[in-house]
Amino acid sequence: MKNLFIRDIKAGIKAGGAIGTSLLFFISVIILSPFALGTDKTLLAQAGPGLLWFFALLAVLLGLDRLFQTDKEDGSLDIILAAGDFSSLTVMVLVKSAAHWVSTVLPLIAAAPVLSLLLNPAWRQAAALTASLVLGTPAITFIGALGAALTAALPRGGVLLAVLVLPLIIPVIIFGTAASVALAAGTALQPLYFLLALTLFFGLVGPAAAALALKFTAE
C-alpha cells in the first residue's frame, strides 16, 4: 500500500502541475477577497479564518473529482477493484486519499500562514489557523473521496461531487473555523477535539463508503 501511495504522489507531482493549480486557485481567491469585502482591516482580520477555511475547502474539492477518474480512464481502477475485497478496497481508498491530501492539500496548508498574515498580521492567529487546517482538512478529503467514488463514472462529475459533499461537511467547516478562533484566543479547546473526532470519524466512514460505492458501481 506504500506502493500505491508513492505512485499517486509521483503521478500527482508530474501530472501537468495539478498540485500547483489547486494552490494557485487558493492563493488567487484569497488575494481577490479584499476586492469583494473592502480593505477595512478589522473586517478582513475578523473574516480571515473563515475565508481561509472556506477557500481551502473549495480548493480541496476542486481537485478531488480526479481521485478515481484518472485510474478509471487508464484502466488501473478495474485491476485494483478486481483484485480487492471490501476491506482491502477501504484501505486502498484511505491510502489514495492520504496521497491526495499530502500532494494537494499540504501545499495549501503551507501557504495558509502567509495568506493569513496578509489578512491579519497576527502570528498567533496564523499558527492557530494552520493547526486547525492540519487537523480538519483530512476530514474533507475523506468524505470527498466518497463523492469522488460516486461520481467517478460520470464524465462531468466535478460540480456534482461538490454538491453532494458540501452538505455533509458542514460540521467540519463549523468546528474548523471555531477551532482556529479558539486556538488563537486561547479559550476552551472543545471545538478542536470535535474537529479531531470528525477527522477520525470521516477517516473511517468515508473510505468504507467510497469502497462500497466503487465496488457496486463498477460495470
Interacting residues toward another protein by CB under 8 A: 3-4, 6-7, 10-11, 14-16, 70, 73-76, 78-85, 143, 146, 150-151, 153-154, 160, 163-164, 166-168, 170-171, 174-175, 178, 194, 198, 201, 205, 209, 212-213, 216-219
Nearest to another protein of 4, 127 (CB atom): 4
- 17 in helix, strand or coil? coil
Nearest to another protein of 115, 194 (CB atom): 194
Residue 90 near residue 205 (C-beta atoms within 8 A): no
Which amino acid is residue 160, in one-letter code?
L
Q: Which residues of 16-35 are buried (b: 16+ CB within 10 A; e: fewer)?
A: eebbeebbebbbebbeebbe
Residue 151 near residue 157 (C-beta atoms within 8 A): yes
Question: Could you tell me the smallest distance in angstroms from the CB atom of residue 75 to another protein?
Answer: 3
Q: Of 18, 44, 21, which Cα lies nearest the Cα of 31? A: 44
Question: Could you tell me the smallest distance in angstroms from the CB atom of residue 93 to another protein?
Answer: 13
Question: Could you tell me the smallest distance in angstroms from the CB atom of residue 117 to another protein?
Answer: 25
Question: Could you tell me the smallest distance in angstroms from the CB atom of residue 3 to another protein?
Answer: 4
Which amino acid is residue 102, in one-letter code?
V
Nearest to another protein of 111, 145 (CB atom): 145
